Chains A and B, each alone.
Chain A
Amino acid sequence: MIEVDNLQKAYRKLHAIKGISFVVQPGEVYGLLGPNGAGKTTTLRILATLLKPTSGSAKVAGFDVARESLAVRRNLGIVNGGMKVYDKLTGYEVLDFFGSFYDLWGPGLKERIAWAAELLHIEQAVLSKQVKDMSTGMQQKIVIARAILHQPQVLLLDEATAGLDVFARRALLDFVRQYAELGKTLIYSTHVMSEAEEVCDRVGFINKGSLVYEGRLQEALELGSGNLERAFIRRLEEAA
């Protein structure tokens, strides 16, 4: 579960997030939608304890992001479009490296790697290649595998399909639904509305650091006469 309450983040004169609040329940995919620079990445980075909030609070899996950062990280996985893993290591070494931080060792780790590889359609032979020798899509799959290896309660995906080809993108979208069905909490942040339409249960529109709309996907679609992009533009225009 994710609970965000009046969260704010300011960098000197810039207010990146201006008091947003929302809750995401287990088994739910929450679409955090907004244009570039709206505050999506900052919000997710705060939830991942990479940034500290200026004020307000947020809880991930019951742990406070400001005070219990290590506990939050143990229960969370994050993927963003620009994220990379060590290109000189093999896929297996990358997963072994990150798995060890979640007390995954030996047979337990191997089991988890096999599970993640199956879920993301990664062939075993690919895991023995160095990351630099993999395709962009496969590299992104390793990034995702790293984030889900410990089967976190909460998974944050930020523009996670960036740079993926059509097959890898499809595999990722399928994975998002499957992972939510396991009772996990997901935030899917994107500016590609068609993806959000496909995977999200609820959506929140964020613009200039403020949450301007929140509701079930079906309600949002109705707002835009069956089109999420239209709903998004309409809501942003109303808020302006």
Chain B
Amino acid sequence: MPVQGIRTVTAARNGVGAFILQCKQLDFHYCDWAGSSRGMVAFLKHQLPAFAKANPQIEIRVSPRPHKHPVIKGHYINGREKAICVRNLEPEQIFNKANLLKEASGEKLKRTKKPITSLNESVRGIWSPYHGGFKSV
């Protein structure tokens, strides 16, 4: 056999062709009785339908959680989840929190110094000491 093929898998590059939002599901938990859920209940009544309509790619679940503070949970495509407690928040603030969960990538927060990550090889090539007239190396 002169040459064999090596089996690999192509790497995903979300956004190069199709774009898939990483947040796939948002859970809204509230309590009917507690005062810390007052803003959450108002948000669910008045703003959630518009939010859900604007983001059809997110599955939205609303469920009561009695005697607990209200929580928004985001589930992401990479399998992780993020939860934000929204006790005593106004509906406007809760909307901002839901937007934050929607726009997040779901990755664990990391401190990075380089702005660019690339799968491609260096376009200009890697410097070599044996080329370009450096004969004395």
Query: Are the chains A and B members of one assembly?
Result: no
